């Protein structure tokens, strides 16, 4: 039987209160969102925070809304809500496609967008979605809010820009009229973490790719992204040949490691094939839009 | 730390350590052994209970996080008129063998039908995909949940 180490607990009633509690309880205090990464780590004693600050009552951090030409997702929005969101289904089907494959319906009732981003597991699916779409992350501390580009948010496995005394409050994505998007994942069994995943958006205008984003997870892509492949594709016709070339460049820029989920060369193969499949579908969606 | 957790309609006030998992609170503090505890890795789903009307893996939630909330366990399914249709469905369709996964399957199954009374076999399979059964091969579990969907609460139940 695995039991977390002794820990104190405090429930925040507002973001300001949470920030105050973080300060009061010192650097070994941690916020807890869905707890579906943190509690497993506490059971294994990989994580032993001294105090947990519970964000689950913070309605101000929940929900998905359109603000100007951005979509804003609150940090405490659950996977289940992302999956069911009409706003996201309209603008970015990539979310629905990814969420359907993240864990299982019961886990999705608890796990949150903010928790996924902050956990920064090198196989996190939403990190690939975020990197594909670009956008920004809003981080708050007692001294105010700051905005960080999503591709600068993660700077290594389990490492993010969120410093002691800070909380991620929301993630913002630009709306791109006419964009198509798609997510492809290979997992060992239903509900498992990816062996590899690729997510993309593409805007095709006047027969050429005018904008695109490629995100990859579990394959050692820097910042979960493939900027070289994007550069190659923008300005070109979305022919099968060009898409295949972009996918090859994306896979080339990855450095997967062999582990229990599969050997490195297989993961590299998947990075290429899944990027290609996602590109094909996103191009078709953009052309149909 | 003092908590008040409403389980199956009764408020329980207990002084617990914040590190206690909800599954252990239910089983050890309250003695409600219907909720099982199986894997320690958040994968098997035999520990599923409802927290405020939604199924949750109770091994992956601290009991203190349920302070002030409502929890429903398999013991809370049966109503004054007898078994819940989901329980009856498992009897009718032979939805269990050893019974270890059954409480979690019933709690998720009840939620799935409440959300979607006309749920398809495929949707049921996806709905219980975070829960493992080592015995049945799932076929009869899916049929049991379908049976419950076709025999809503209040309709005539064959004994
Ligand atoms: C069985 C199982 C299968 C899974 N499968 C997948 C999968 O296929 N793909 C996938 O991507 N994920 C998967 N996950 C992970 C799941 O998506 C988690 O819910 C998610 O990684 C963490 O979200 P959480 O809200 O539970 O975060 P928590 O566990 O509460 O927190 C995680 C970390 O983030 C910090 N944190 C949380 N919120 C904030 C915030 N607002 N500001 C600052 N720091 C914060 C916490 O302090 C902690 O360090 C799986 C999990 C389980 C249990
Ligand atoms: S005991 Fe909770 S998922 Fe296995
Ligand atoms: S009936 Fe034995 S595990 Fe499901």
The string of pLDDT tens digits covering residues A231-248 is 999 999 999 999 999 999
Q: Is B62 on the interface with A (CB under 8 A)?
A: yes
pLDDT tier, B156 (very low <50, low <70, confident <90, very high otherwise) = low
Residue from B25, B36, B44 to probe ligand 2 pocket by mutation (most atoms less than 8 Å from CB): B44
Does the beta carbon of B133 lie inside 6 Å of ligand 3?
yes
- Domain interval for residue A15: 8-54
Q: How far is A47 from chain B (nearest CA, A)?
A: 13
Q: CATH no. for residue B69? A: 3.10.20.30
Task: Copy the structure tokens of residue A47.
Answer: 């994580």
Q: Which atom of ligand 3 is nearest to the CA of B134?
A: 3
Which residues on A lie below 8 Å from B48 (Cβ)?
A: 106
Identity of the residue in A6, A11, A107 whose CB atom sits nearest the CB atom of B130: A107
8 Å CB contact of B57 and A106: yes
Task: Copy the structure tokens of residue B11.
Answer: 């408020």
Q: Which pTM value belongs to this model?
A: 0.97
- Position B40 scores a pLDDT of 84
Greatest Cα-to-Cα distance within chain A, rounded to the nearest angstrom: 61
Asked if the structure places residue B156 within a domain, the reply is no
- Domain interval for residue B15: 2-76
Both A273 and A209 in one domain: the answer is yes
Q: CATH no. for residue A88? A: 3.30.465.10
Both B128 and B101 in one domain: the answer is yes
Q: CATH no. for residue A186? A: 3.30.390.50
Q: CATH no. for residue A50? A: 3.30.43.10
Q: Which of A286, A211, A281, A224 is nearest to A250 (CA)?
A: A224
Which residues on B lie below 8 Å from A9 (Cβ)?
A: 1, 18, 62, 64
Q: CATH no. for residue B89? A: 1.10.150.120
Q: Which residue has the tokens 């094909």?
A: A280
Which residues on A lie below 8 Å from B41 (Cβ)?
A: 40
Asked if the structure places residue A3 within a domain, the reply is no
- Which string of DSSP letters, residue by residue, matches B67-89? TTSEEE-GGGS-BTTBS-HHHHH
Asked if the structure places residue A256 within a domain, the reply is yes
- Position B159 scores a pLDDT of 47
Check if the interface score ipTM surpasses 0.90. yes
Those residues of chain A that have pLDDT short of 50 are none
- Residue A51: its H or E element: strand A51-54
Q: Is B42 on the interface with A (CB under 8 A)?
A: yes
B12-16, B38-42, B146-150: segment of lowest average pLDDT: B38-42
What is the Cα Rg of chain A in Å?
19
Asked if the structure places residue B72 within a domain, the reply is yes
Angle at A169 between CA A164 and CA A175, to 5 degrees: 135
Which residues on B lie below 8 Å from A8 (Cβ)?
A: 18
Identity of the residue in B42, B54, B64 whose CB atom sits nearest the CB atom of A40: B42
- Whether residue A253 contacts residue A175, with contact meaning beta carbons closer than 8 Å, is answered with no
Q: Which of A260, A259, A229 is nearest to A247 (CA)?
A: A229
Both A272 and A249 in one domain: the answer is yes
Both A69 and A170 in one domain: the answer is yes
Task: Copy the structure tokens of residue A4.
Answer: 């977390």
- Position B153 scores a pLDDT of 82
Distance B37 CA to ligand 2 centre (A): 6
* pLDDT per residue as tens digits for the range B132-144: 999 999 999 999 9
Q: Is A5 on the interface with B (CB under 8 A)?
A: yes
Q: Which of A110, A135, A178 is nearest to B61 (CA)?
A: A110
Task: Copy the structure tokens of residue A51.
Answer: 């105090």
Both A188 and A279 in one domain: the answer is yes
* pLDDT per residue as tens digits for the range B70-117: 999 999 999 998 999 999 999 999 999 999 999 999 999 999 999 999
């Amino acid at each position: 039987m695995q039991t977390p180490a002794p820990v104190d607990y405090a429930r925040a009633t507002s973001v300001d209160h949470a920030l105050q509690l973080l300060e009061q309880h010192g650097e070994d205090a941690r916020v807890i969102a869905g707890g579906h990464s943190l509690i497993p780590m506490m059971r294994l004693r990989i994580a032993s925070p001294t105090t947990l600050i519970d964000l689950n009552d913070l309605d101000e951090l929940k929900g998905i809304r359109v603000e100007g030409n951005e979509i804003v997702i609150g940090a405490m929005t659950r996977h289940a809500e992302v999956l069911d969101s009409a706003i996201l289904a309209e603008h970015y089907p990539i979310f629905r496609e990814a969420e359907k494959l993240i864990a299982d319906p019961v886990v999705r009732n608890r796990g949150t967008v903010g928790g996924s981003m902050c956990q920064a597991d090198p196989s996190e699916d939403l990190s690939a979605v975020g990197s594909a779409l670009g956008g920004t992350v809003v981080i708050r501390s007692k001294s105010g809010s700051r905005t960080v580009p999503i591709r600068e948010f993660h700077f290594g496995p389990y490492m993010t820009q969120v410093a002691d005394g800070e909380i991620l409050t929301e993630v913002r994505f630009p709306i791109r009229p006419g964009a198509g998007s798609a997510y492809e994942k290979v997992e060992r069994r239903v509900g498992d973490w990816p062996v590899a995943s690729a997510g993309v958006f593409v805007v095709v205008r006047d027969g050429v790719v005018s904008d695109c984003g490629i995100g990859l997870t579990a394959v050692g892509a820097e910042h979960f992204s493939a900027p070289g492949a994007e550069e190659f594709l923008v300005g070109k016709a979305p022919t099968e040949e060009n898409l295949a070339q972009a996918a090859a460049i994306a896979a080339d820029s990855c450095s997967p490691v062999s582990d229990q989920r599969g050997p490195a060369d297989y993961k590299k193969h998947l990075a290429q094939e899944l990027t290609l499949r996602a590109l094909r579908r996103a191009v078709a969606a953009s052309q149909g839009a | 730390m003092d908590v008040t957790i409403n389980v199956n309609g009764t408020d329980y006030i207990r002084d617990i350590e914040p590190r206690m998992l909800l599954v252990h609170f239910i089983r050890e503090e309250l003695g409600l052994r219907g909720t099982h505890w199986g894997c320690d890795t958040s994968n098997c789903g035999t520990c599923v209970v409802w927290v405020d009307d939604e199924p949750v893996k109770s091994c992956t939630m601290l009991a203190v996080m349920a302070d002030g909330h409502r929890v429903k366990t398999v013991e809370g399914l049966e109503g004054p008129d007898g078994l819940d249709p989901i329980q009856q469905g498992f009897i009718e369709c032979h939805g269990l063998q050893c019974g270890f996964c059954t409480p979690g399957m019933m709690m998720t199954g009840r939620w799935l039908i409440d959300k979607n009374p006309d749920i398809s076999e495929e949707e049921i399979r996806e709905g219980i995909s975070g829960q493992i059964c080592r015995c049945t091969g799932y076929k009869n579990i899916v049929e049991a949940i379908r049976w419950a969907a076709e025999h809503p609460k209040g309709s005539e139940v064959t004994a």
